[in-house]
């Protein structure tokens, strides 16, 4: 028996499940802020997977919900970067990849940004020109996961071939909203220019300018910026004095931004580990 389409539509629009879901999205949004403000990395590390699974189950019911998608892209990327990249790069690679799928689904709501992985770079670049500042978060978290995945998949030509696109996305974020996520676009581009050999377009001068600009974006308060400055730029420039100074600043300066408490706490842990590797890095 076929129910009239309109009735079905009304039913689904008013189903208790959907209504409950709509109510929970703002809560999850706030939950994400609560994660950013969590001072105890271990608590965050243990709680995040459950949150990510919850997001994915909600997305099963409502795959087109952009707020859920955005939280998932941000959540998988953040989890991979903060907690997995150093200890378990294989899993970090998979989490970035999942975050990337969420990000691509998010961008794919616009016709011009569908099938980005197969699109030609020039087509992508012209589609990006049509975007506005409020598109910056979607672009940022997609590029964040994309770059994170490629960085851990350098043995995959397929992944490496997609790097120009991730960079194009992030360059557009830099134009649209340069200070987004504590100077995130600068941190991404700084790491990009520092980690590539000069022969492959690496450029220490550009890397330094991006890192300086990222540090300045929060007046030096976002400690992760200095950590990345040390890890990518100081190592590539083989400047061990700068490396030591930046790591010491991260370890000794108290984190003062409530919305960056978790990132600051993790930056301190990473700085300590990085200092233990100094003999291998220089």
The residue within the footprint of another protein, chosen from 155, 241, 252, 276 (CB under 8 A), is: 155
Greatest CA separation found in the chain? Answer: 76
Half-sphere exposure (Cβ direction) of 132: Cα atoms closer than 13 Å: 2
Say how far apart CA 66 and CA 106 lie, in whole Å.
Answer: 6
Decide if residue 152 touches another protein (CB under 8 A). yes
Tokens, residue 109 = 């709501």
**CA separation for the pair 133, 174 (Å, rounded):** 10
Say which DSSP state 254 is in: P
CB of 186 to another protein, least distance (A): 21
* 241: contact with another protein by CB under 8 A: no
Q: Which of 121, 216, 256, 278 binds another protein (CB under 8 A)?
A: 121
The tokens describing 119, both together, are: 């699109």
Among positions 157, 205, 219, 254, the unique one binding another protein when judged by CB under 8 A: 157
Among 28, 136, 143, 163, contact with another protein (rule: CB under 8 A): 163
Q: Any contact of residue 236 with another protein (CB under 8 A)? A: yes
Stretch in the footprint of another protein (CB under 8 A) among 8-16, 30-38, 149-157, 173-181: 149-157
Give me the least distance between CB of 118 and another protein, in Å please. Answer: 6
Q: What is the torsional sign of CA 60, 64, 68, 74?
A: positive
When asked if residue 254 is in the footprint of another protein (CB under 8 A), the reply is no
Nearest to 103 by CA among 58, 144, 136, 73: 73
Q: Which residues bind another protein (CB under 8 A)?
A: 118-122, 151-152, 154-158, 160-164, 195-202, 235-236, 238, 280
């Amino acid at each position: 028996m076929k129910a009239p389409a309109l009735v079905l539509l009304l039913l689904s629009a008013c189903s208790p499940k959907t209504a409950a879901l709509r109510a929970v999205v703002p809560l999850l949004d706030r939950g994400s802020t609560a994660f950013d403000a969590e001072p105890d990395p271990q608590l965050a590390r243990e709680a995040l997977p459950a949150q990510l699974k919850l997001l994915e189950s909600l997305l099963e019911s409502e795959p087109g919900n952009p707020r859920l998608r955005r939280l998932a892209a941000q959540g998988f990327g953040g989890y991979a970067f903060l907690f997995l990249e150093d200890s378990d790069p294989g899993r970090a690679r998979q989490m970035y990849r999942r975050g990337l799928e969420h990000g691509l689904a998010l961008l794919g709501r616009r016709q011009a940004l569908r099938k980005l992985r197969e699109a030609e770079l020039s087509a992508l670049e012209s589609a990006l020109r049509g975007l506005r500042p409020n598109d910056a978060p979607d672009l940022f978290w997609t590029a964040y996961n994309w770059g994170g995945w490629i960085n851990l998949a350098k043995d995959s030509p397929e992944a490496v071939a997609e790097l120009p696109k991730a960079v194009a996305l992030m360059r557009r974020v830099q134009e649209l909203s340069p200070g987004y996520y504590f100077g995130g676009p600068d941190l991404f581009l700084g790491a990009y220019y520092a980690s590539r050999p000069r022969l492959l377009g690496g450029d220490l001068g550009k890397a330094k300018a991006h890192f300086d600009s990222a540090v300045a974006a929060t007046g030096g308060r976002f400690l992760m910026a200095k950590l990345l400055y040390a890890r990518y730029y100081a190592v590539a420039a083989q400047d061990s004095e700068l490396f030591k100074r930046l790591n010491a600043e991260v370890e000794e300066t108290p984190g003062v931004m409530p919305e960056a408490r978790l990132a600051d706490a993790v930056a301190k842990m990473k700085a300590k580990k990085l200092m233990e590797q100094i003999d291998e890095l220089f």
